[in-house]
Chain A
Amino acid sequence: MRTSQLPRPSLDRSIGMVVLVVLAAGPLIFNPFWVSFILTQVFWYAIAAASLIFLYAYGGMVSLAQASIAGIAGFVLGNAVTNGETKGLNLGLSPWIGFIAGIVIATLVAVVIGAVASRSTGIYFLMLTLSVAVMVNYFFGQVTVVSGFGGIGDIQNHTPFGRPDIHPNRLYYIALVCTVGAYFLLRFLLRTPFGLALQGIRDDPVRMSSLGYNVALHRTLAFGLAGFVTSFSGVLFVWWNNQISPSSIDITSALNLLVIAVIGGLHRLEGAWVGAFVFVIVSDYAQSVGFLHFMGLTQTRFETLIGLVFLAIVLLSPNGLLGVWEWSRAALTRVNRRARGPREEPPQASPA
């Protein structure tokens, strides 16, 4: 948990740089299916999962409402920009106004949810946010004025950058900028006085309170900031998906974000991207693995497969795949040290 305060070992940082360079040249390297489908999807999934990890690892709050907040941003955008061809309000506003309105309203809703939930932590917080998530889902299903069961479609006609299905690379780069921006914004937040106070509150709320920090306000603001980040995920999702319906934010979607975060590793922001990548890959390639097919786990039984992966991770490696990575790196270091003999300097800076 507290490793976040130490400088990152250079191996991790160089891997990060290489990944970033490869992704920046993405359309040159990967085929169009990977660019427009796999990677773009990973980007917006990871933004929402990163906000979940931010709240858990540094605020001690397990939020299942992130998918709902992203969904609210998407629904607001959809209601604002569409013009008579679908359900909802069909306001026909400019795409930019719709985009800004989606972000602002979703952030405000997140602040309200955060204020309601800010006095509980841990397992209570999880239950409360799950209830909120299901209620938001039912809200959009029941209230036909803003959506109704079928949802809002034809949003791709109203984006600020043209139709994503014709120009997939544009959406790819927008999603890439958003996802990298989200990562650095969250990392930056953790180093501000606010972020440090938040981590103090995670560790000992009573002491922070007696030091004069307003615990509930810090939690509310953290939830609001996470909601701000998540709402970008919702906007990207509707641009990518062309439509949004209540089933896009149902209980399974809310849990999927938690699954992504846990698979990647709940204790470090980077886990969101690892988890999202694995999640999307599993969901796409589960069909083509013959062994799984033999066990009855085909594409249609994808949730069973991802549930089993999730269960295995929770039981075997509570810190997710990043935990496995950190463990093996530490094991390698130990082996190296032994091979070089006891007199050698501890190889803190050398392994790369």
Chain B
Amino acid sequence: MVAFVTPMPPPNDGRTLRLSTRLKSLLVGSGSRSAIIGRTSLLLALLFVLVWVLFIAAPAPVSGAGNWRSTTFGSAVDDPTDFLKTLLDTLTYAGLLFVVASGFTLVFGLMRVVNMAHGSFFLLAGYIGVRLQKDYTHAGVFGLSSSQVSLWKEWVLPLVIAVLVVAGVGLIVQQLLLRWNQGQELRQALITIALSLIAADQIIAHFVRGGAESMAWPNVLGPDKQLTVGAVSYPWSRIFMLLLALGIGLGLFLWLHETRTGTVIRAGVDDRHMVRALGIRIERVFAIAFVVGAALAALGGVIGASFAAVDSGVDGQWLLNSLVVVIIGGLGSLGGAAVGALLYAAISNFAAVYVPTTSSNCCTEYSIILTFALLVVVLAIRPYGLFGKPG
């Protein structure tokens, strides 16, 4: 039977042959003169960034305008504490990015559904968490502080409820709207876009109460709980984010590689039609994968509401985050999501404090341009992301 299934040539081989061979030699070595120039300039650019962060950057004077090398934090040699903190911020933020983006990439890898409502799932869960926590703690108009919030009843319970509700919503969406359009990628993307429009508006109608709101971390993870090593102290809540991401990553890996469902999912990623032809009920696996994807977005949403805040518009922001992570890492690849999350987190955290500031009031003026540059460089070298496969 298998012999009759001739593998289709990847549809993009022909049209990108010349450019891609040229650019692939960027990584592999040798090649034409322009390839060598390209490779050298990329290396020089990376070297420059490294030298800049390690040695050149210098904080602006307390009063008056800075000069061309004025940054928020000094160079790593002068100011190792802040450098270490930025590094840790990168790792922990990458953890949150990974949790959210892994759900996105799981759904795409198996079902070829680009879930444009992923950010809406995130925001919905975040708001459910915020509302439930405020109800349980009877918080008034003033914000909560972590010392008032108990771990299980006032943080974990809202989290579990939010994740369950959003997973249920995900199941309904998948069964009601996406299931009978299986295989029509664009139509499914349009359906989820419609859902994201409706969800964004309904969240504004029912949840948003003027301005950003956030959940408080439970008392055991409060802002006063810091891990102190020598002169450096770092909040436990952010370390918890990283540990959770590692746990999720490990759990997903084991699920995909050690269980029967996971094996079916991996087989489905490679060849859905063959799996179905073998008599496996892949529809059920599709539903499970979509629910898990929605639940991961929801988990990220509650963590994100505790770590930062939720507001209208956050859904678009986290859709962008997921998209950038999986475009860099490669759609459908768990490892790619991890690498993409690390690169994206590194760009946004380091750019915020090590890019020269032009205006007096701080920070991230040009970080978005650097994110775009990262996207361009990755796509120029590997059009389907670092770990992605064409098709």
Chain A contact residues, CB within 8 Å of chain B: 62, 116, 119-124, 126-128, 130-132, 134-135, 138-139, 142-145, 201, 205-210, 215-216, 250-252, 255, 258-259, 262, 296, 300-304, 306-308, 310-311, 314-315, 318
Residue of B whose beta carbon sits closest to that of A258: B193
Min Cβ gap A172→B in Å is: 30
A307→B198 contact, CB < 8 A: yes
Is B223 in the interface zone, CB < 8 Å from A?
no
Min Cβ gap B348→A in Å is: 11
B197→A310 contact, CB < 8 A: yes
Is B230 in the interface zone, CB < 8 Å from A?
no
A135→B13 contact, CB < 8 A: no
A215→B15 contact, CB < 8 A: yes
A216→B13 contact, CB < 8 A: no
- A134 to B371 Cα, complex, angstroms: 12
Residue of A whose beta carbon sits closest to that of B379: A116
A306→B14 contact, CB < 8 A: no
- A258 to B331 Cα, complex, angstroms: 23
Is B1 in the interface zone, CB < 8 Å from A?
no
Is B6 in the interface zone, CB < 8 Å from A?
no
Min Cβ gap A158→B in Å is: 26
A206→B194 contact, CB < 8 A: no
Is B201 in the interface zone, CB < 8 Å from A?
yes
B193→A123 contact, CB < 8 A: no
Q: Given A123-B185, A206-B9, A315-B177, is A216 in contact with B15 using a C-beta cutoff of 8 Å?
A: yes
- A61 to B191 Cα, complex, angstroms: 18
- Name the interface size band of chain B: 35 or more
- A139 to B367 Cα, complex, angstroms: 9
- A-B contact sample (11 more), CB < 8 A, given A127-B323, A142-B367, A145-B358: A120-B379, A123-B185, A123-B189, A130-B320, A142-B364, A142-B365, A143-B366, A250-B313, A262-B190, A301-B205, A308-B198
Q: Given A138-B368, A314-B187, is A131 in contact with B320 using a C-beta cutoff of 8 Å?
A: yes
Residue of B whose beta carbon sits closest to that of A134: B320
B195→A311 contact, CB < 8 A: yes
Chain B residues in 8 Å Cβ range of A207: 14
Is B369 in the interface zone, CB < 8 Å from A?
yes
Cross-chain contact of B194 among A126, A301, A310 (Cβ < 8 A): A310
Residue of A whose beta carbon sits closest to that of B368: A138
Chain B residues in 8 Å Cβ range of A124: 327, 331, 384
Within 8 A of A (CB), among B357-391: 358-359, 364-369, 371-372, 375-376, 379-380, 383-384
Chain B residues in 8 Å Cβ range of A144: 359, 365
B114→A303 contact, CB < 8 A: no
Min Cβ gap B115→A in Å is: 11
A216→B16 contact, CB < 8 A: yes
- A215 to B19 Cα, complex, angstroms: 11
Cross-chain contact of A135 among B202, B358, B368, B380 (Cβ < 8 A): B368
Is B63 in the interface zone, CB < 8 Å from A?
no
Within 8 A of A (CB), among B150-208: 177, 185-187, 189-191, 193-198, 200-202, 205
Min Cβ gap B65→A in Å is: 15
B369→A208 contact, CB < 8 A: no
Chain A residues in 8 Å Cβ range of B205: 296, 300-301, 304
A307→B201 contact, CB < 8 A: yes
Cross-chain contact of B16 among A119, A130, A306, A318 (Cβ < 8 A): A119
Chain B residues in 8 Å Cβ range of A119: 12, 15-16, 19-20, 379, 383
- A206 to B16 Cα, complex, angstroms: 9
Q: Given A135-B368, A308-B198, is A208 in contact with B190 using a C-beta cutoff of 8 Å?
A: no
Chain A residues in 8 Å Cβ range of B11: 205-206
- A314 to B331 Cα, complex, angstroms: 25
Residue of B whose beta carbon sits closest to that of A247: B313
Min Cβ gap A151→B in Å is: 16
Cross-chain contact of A304 among B201, B319, B379 (Cβ < 8 A): B201
A131→B193 contact, CB < 8 A: no
**Looking at chain A's contact residues, is the secondary structure mostly helix, strand, loop, or mixed?**
helix
Min Cβ gap A226→B in Å is: 18
Q: Given A258-B193, A303-B197, A307-B194, is A127 in contact with B114 using a C-beta cutoff of 8 Å?
A: yes
Is B324 in the interface zone, CB < 8 Å from A?
yes
Residue of A whose beta carbon sits closest to that of B108: A123
- A48 to B17 Cα, complex, angstroms: 33
Chain A residues in 8 Å Cβ range of B14: 205-207, 209-210
B191→A135 contact, CB < 8 A: no
Is B316 in the interface zone, CB < 8 Å from A?
yes
Within 8 A of A (CB), among B210-225: none
A208→B15 contact, CB < 8 A: yes
A131→B368 contact, CB < 8 A: no
- A121 to B323 Cα, complex, angstroms: 15
B191→A116 contact, CB < 8 A: no
Min Cβ gap A235→B in Å is: 24
B194→A252 contact, CB < 8 A: no
Chain B residues in 8 Å Cβ range of A127: 114, 323, 327
Q: Given A116-B379, A123-B114, A262-B190, is A128 in contact with B369 using a C-beta cutoff of 8 Å?
A: no
- A307 to B116 Cα, complex, angstroms: 13
Min Cβ gap A138→B in Å is: 4
Residue with the greatest number of chain A CB neighbours at <10 A, chosen from B187, B205, B358: B205
- A105 to B11 Cα, complex, angstroms: 33
Cross-chain contact of B197 among A132, A134, A252 (Cβ < 8 A): A252
- Sample 28 A-B pairs with CB under 8 A, ordered by A number: A119-B15, A119-B16, A119-B20, A123-B114, A127-B323, A128-B379, A130-B116, A131-B320, A131-B324, A131-B327, A142-B364, A143-B366, A144-B365, A205-B12, A206-B11, A206-B13, A207-B14, A215-B16, A252-B197, A255-B193, A302-B201, A303-B197, A303-B200, A306-B197, A307-B194, A311-B198, A314-B191, A314-B194
Chain A residues in 8 Å Cβ range of B316: 134, 250-252
Residue of B whose beta carbon sits closest to that of A259: B197
- A41 to B186 Cα, complex, angstroms: 28
- A122 to B187 Cα, complex, angstroms: 11
Cross-chain contact of A209 among B15, B186, B201, B384 (Cβ < 8 A): B15
Cross-chain contact of A252 among B15, B200, B202 (Cβ < 8 A): B200
Chain B residues in 8 Å Cβ range of A307: 194-195, 197-198, 201
Cross-chain contact of A120 among B186, B200, B324, B383 (Cβ < 8 A): B383
B195→A131 contact, CB < 8 A: no
- A142 to B366 Cα, complex, angstroms: 7
Residue of B whose beta carbon sits closest to that of A219: B15
Min Cβ gap A12→B in Å is: 25
B19→A123 contact, CB < 8 A: no
| 6 nearest CB pairs, A to B | A307-B197, A215-B15, A303-B201, A307-B198, A206-B14, A311-B194
A304→B202 contact, CB < 8 A: yes
Within 8 A of A (CB), among B59-100: none
